[in-house]
Amino acid sequence: MKAICVFNQKGGVGKTTTVVNLAAALGLKGKKVLVMDLDPQGNSSSGFGVDKMNLENTVYDLFINDVKLEDIIYKTEAENVSIIPSNTSLSGVEVELINTPSRESVLKNALEGFEDFDYIIMDCPPSLGFLSINALTAADSVLIPIQSEYYALEGVSQLVETINLVKKSLNKDLEVEGVLISMFDGRNNLSLEVVEEVKKYFKNKVFKSIIPRNVRLAEAPSYGESIFDYDSKSKGAVAYEKLAKEIIKNNK
Ligand SMILES: Nc1ncnc2c1ncn2[C@@H]1O[C@H](COP(=O)(O)OP(=O)(O)O)[C@@H](O)[C@H]1O
Ligand SMILES: [Mg+2]
E strand map for 61-197: 74-75, 81-84, 119-123, 141-147, 175-182
Q: What is the C-alpha R_g of the chain?
A: 17
Residue 207: which H helix or E strand, with range? none
Q: How far is the CA of 202 from the centre of ligand 2 (A)?
A: 23
Question: pTM of the prediction?
Answer: 0.97
**CB-based pocket (< 6 A), ligand 1:** 11-17, 43, 126, 182-183, 211, 213-214, 217-218, 236
What would the pLDDT profile of 143-158 be if each residue is shown by its tens digit? 999 998 888 888 899 9
Backbone angles phi, psi at 61, to 5 degrees: -65, -25
pLDDT higher than threshold 90 for residue 81 = yes
Query: Residue 204 burial (CB < 10 Å; 0-12/13-18/19+)?
Result: exposed
At 150 the pLDDT is: 80
At 101 the pLDDT is: 85
Residue identifier of the C-alpha nearest atom 13 of ligand 1:
12
Return the ∠ at Cα 41 (arms to 164 and 1), rounded to 5°. 50
Residue 135, sorted as left (phi over 0), alpha (psi -120 to 50) or beta, turns out to be alpha
Compute the average pLDDT of residues 223-233: 98
At 175 the pLDDT is: 97
Q: How far is the CA of 138 from the centre of ligand 2 (A)?
A: 19
pLDDT higher than threshold 90 for residue 66 = no
Compute the average pLDDT of residues 80-95: 94
Percent residues over pLDDT 90 in the chain: 86
Q: How far is the CA of 121 from the centre of ligand 2 (A)?
A: 13
At 59 the pLDDT is: 95
Residue identifier of the C-alpha nearest atom 17 of ligand 1:
14
